[in-house]
Structure 1
Amino acid sequence: MVQRVATVAFQGVEALPVDVQVQVAPGLPAFHLVGLADKAVSEARERVRAALIASGLALPARRITVNLAPADLPKEGSHYDLPIALALMAAIGAIPSDALNGYSVVGELALDGRIAPVAGVLPAAIAANASGRGLICPGPSGPEAAWASPDMDILAPSSLIQLANHFKGTQVLSRPAPQVMTAGAPLPDLADIKGQESAKRALEIAAAGGHNLLMVGPPGAGKSMLAQRLPSILPPLAPAELLEVSMVMSVAGELQGGALTDRRPFRAPHHSASMAALVGGGLRARPGEVSLAHKGVLFLDELPEFQPQVLDSLRQPIETGEVVIARANHRVTYPARFMLVAAMNPCRCGEADTPGYTCRRGANERCKADYQSRLSGPLLDRIDLTIQVSAVSAADLVLPPAAEGSKEVAARVAAARTRQIERFAALGLPQLLTNAEANGAVLEDIARLDGAGVALLREAADVLRLSARAYHRVLKVARTIADLDGADTVGRLHLAEALSYRPPADGAMQAALGKTPTQAGATGATGSAAWSPR
Structure 2
Amino acid sequence: MTARTWAVALSGLNGHMVDVEADLSQQTPGFDLIGLGDRALGEAARRVHNACRNSGLDLPRRKLTVNLSPASLPKHGTAFDLAIAIAALGTEGTLDASSLARTVHLGELGLDGRLRPVAGVLPALHAAKAAGFEHAVVPVGNEAEARLVPGLTVHAAASLAQVAVLHGAQLDDPGDPDPILIPEAPERPETDDDLADVIGQEDAVAALVVAAAGGHHLLLTGPPGAGKTMLARRLAGILPDLDEEAALEAASIRSLMGESLTTLERRPPFVAPHHSASIAALIGGGSRIARPGAIAMAHGGLLFLDEAAEAPRAVLDSLRQPLESGTIEIHRSEFTARYPARFQLVLATNPCPCGAFGVVGEECVCPPSAIRRYASRLSGPIRDRLDIEVRVARVSAVQAMAQERGRLSTAQARDRVVAARERAALRWHGLPWRLNAHVPGTWLRQGEHRIAAGARAPLDRALQRGSLTLRGYDRVIRMAWSVADLDGADAPALEHVGRALYLKKGMMT
After superposition, the CA RMSD in angstroms is 2.3
Tell me how far apart the structure 1 counterparts of residues 205 and 61 of structure 2 sit (CA, whole Å).
71
- Contact 1:352-1:359 at 8 Å conserved across structures: yes
- Once the two structures are superposed, the pairs formed by residues 329-408 of structure 1 within 5 Å of their partners are 329-363=334-368, 366-400=369-403, 401-408=405-412
Provide the residue aligned with 2:497 in structure 1. 495
Query: Identity of counterpart residues, as a percentage?
Result: 43
Deviations 1:24-76 (A, max 9, x none): 34443332222111111112222222222231224344322222122221110
1:478 matched to 2:480: yes
AA of the residue aligned to 2:139: P
- Once the two structures are superposed, the pairs formed by residues 251-400 of structure 1 within 5 Å of their partners are 251-254=256-259, 256-283=260-287, 284-363=289-368, 366-400=369-403
Deviations 1:199-229 (A, max 9, x none): 1111111111000000000111111111112
- Contact 1:482-1:488 at 8 Å conserved across structures: yes
Question: How far did 1:447 drift?
Answer: 5.4
Note the residue ranges of structure 1 that are not aligned, 5 or more in a row: 174-180, 505-526, 530-534
Count of residues in correspondence between the two structures: 492
- Select which of 411, 417, 420 maps to 1:416: 420
AA of the residue aligned to 2:378: L
Question: How far did 1:91 drift?
Answer: 2.2
Tell me how far apart the structure 2 counterparts of residues 46 and 268 of structure 1 sit (CA, whole Å).
41
Provide the residue aligned with 2:81 in structure 1. 81
1:8 matched to 2:8: yes
Provide the residue aligned with 1:123 in structure 2. 123
AA of the residue aligned to 1:143: A
SS at match of 1:3: strand
Question: How far did 1:434 drift?
Answer: 0.3
Deviations 1:299-349 (A, max 9, x none): 111111221111111111111111122222222221111101110011111
- Select which of 207, 213, 238 maps to 1:202: 207
1:227 matched to 2:232: yes
Question: How far did 1:192 drift?
Answer: 2.5
- Once the two structures are superposed, the pairs formed by residues 166-205 of structure 1 within 5 Å of their partners are 166-168=166-168, 184-186=189-191, 188-205=193-210
Tell me how far apart the structure 2 counterparts of residues 528 and 209 of structure 1 sit (CA, whole Å).
21
SS at match of 2:6: strand
- Contact 2:278-2:315 at 8 Å conserved across structures: yes
Tell me how far apart the structure 2 counterparts of residues 329 and 187 of structure 1 sit (CA, whole Å).
47
Deviations 1:441-491 (A, max 9, x none): 432347533343232212233456100000000011111011001111101
Provide the residue aligned with 1:48 in structure 2. 48
Question: How far did 1:410 drift?
Answer: 0.4
Provide the residue aligned with 1:511 in structure 2. none
Question: How far did 1:93 drift?
Answer: 4.7
AA of the residue aligned to 2:423: R
Tell me how far apart the structure 1 counterparts of residues 111 and 277 of structure 2 sit (CA, whole Å).
36
CA distance change for structure 1 residues 110 and 211 in 2, over 3 Å: closer, same or farther?
same
- Contact 1:78-1:107 at 8 Å conserved across structures: yes
* Deviating more after overlay: 477-486 vs 279-288: 279-288
- Contact 2:282-2:293 at 8 Å conserved across structures: yes
Deviations 1:114-172 (A, max 9, x none): 2122122122212222222122222232232233323x22212122222233334999x
Tell me how far apart the structure 1 counterparts of residues 109 and 462 of structure 2 sit (CA, whole Å).
64
1:528 matched to 2:508: yes
- Contact 2:107-2:117 at 8 Å conserved across structures: yes
- Contact 2:390-2:508 at 8 Å conserved across structures: yes
Note the residue ranges of structure 2 that are not aligned, 5 or more in a row: 177-185
1:144 matched to 2:145: yes
AA of the residue aligned to 2:227: G
Provide the residue aligned with 2:162 in structure 1. 162
Deviations 1:55-112 (A, max 9, x none): 1224344322222122221110110111011112222455333331211111112222
SS at match of 2:101: coil
Q: What is the TM-score with the length of structure 1 in the denominator?
A: 0.87
Tell me how far apart the structure 2 counterparts of residues 122 and 162 of structure 1 sit (CA, whole Å).
22
Provide the residue aligned with 2:253 in structure 1. 248
- Once the two structures are superposed, the pairs formed by residues 99-138 of structure 1 within 5 Å of their partners are 99-133=99-133, 134-138=135-139
CA distance change for structure 1 residues 3 and 404 in 2, over 3 Å: closer, same or farther?
same
AA of the residue aligned to 1:415: A
- Contact 1:446-1:479 at 8 Å conserved across structures: no
Tell me how far apart the structure 1 counterparts of residues 360 and 313 of structure 2 sit (CA, whole Å).
30
SS at match of 1:195: coil
Provide the residue aligned with 1:521 in structure 2. none
Provide the residue aligned with 1:507 in structure 2. none
* Deviating more after overlay: 470-479 vs 366-375: 366-375
Tell me how far apart the structure 2 counterparts of residues 377 and 282 of structure 1 sit (CA, whole Å).
29
SS at match of 2:104: strand
- Contact 1:204-1:409 at 8 Å conserved across structures: yes
Provide the residue aligned with 1:20 in structure 2. 20
Deviations 1:244-271 (A, max 9, x none): 22233323333x2343211111111111
Tell me how far apart the structure 1 counterparts of residues 190 and 320 of structure 2 sit (CA, whole Å).
34
Tell me how far apart the structure 1 counterparts of residues 291 and 191 of structure 2 sit (CA, whole Å).
30
1:442 matched to 2:435: no
SS at match of 1:87: helix
- Contact 1:24-1:64 at 8 Å conserved across structures: yes
Provide the residue aligned with 1:35 in structure 2. 35
* Deviating more after overlay: 308-317 vs 27-36: 27-36
Provide the residue aligned with 1:461 in structure 2. 463
Tell me how far apart the structure 2 counterparts of residues 440 and 395 of structure 1 sit (CA, whole Å).
44
SS at match of 1:156: strand
Provide the residue aligned with 2:181 in structure 1. none
SS at match of 1:4: strand
* Deviating more after overlay: 22-31 vs 214-223: 22-31
CA distance change for structure 1 residues 163 and 472 in 2, over 3 Å: closer, same or farther?
same
CA distance change for structure 1 residues 262 and 187 in 2, over 3 Å: closer, same or farther?
farther
- Contact 1:323-1:334 at 8 Å conserved across structures: yes
Question: How far did 1:415 drift?
Answer: 0.3
Tell me how far apart the structure 1 counterparts of residues 2 and 94 of structure 2 sit (CA, whole Å).
15
Tell me how far apart the structure 2 counterparts of residues 182 and 310 of structure 1 sit (CA, whole Å).
30
Tell me how far apart the structure 2 counterparts of residues 448 and 490 of structure 1 sit (CA, whole Å).
10
Question: How far did 1:113 drift?
Answer: 1.9
Deviations 1:419-440 (A, max 9, x none): 0111101xx21x3110000113
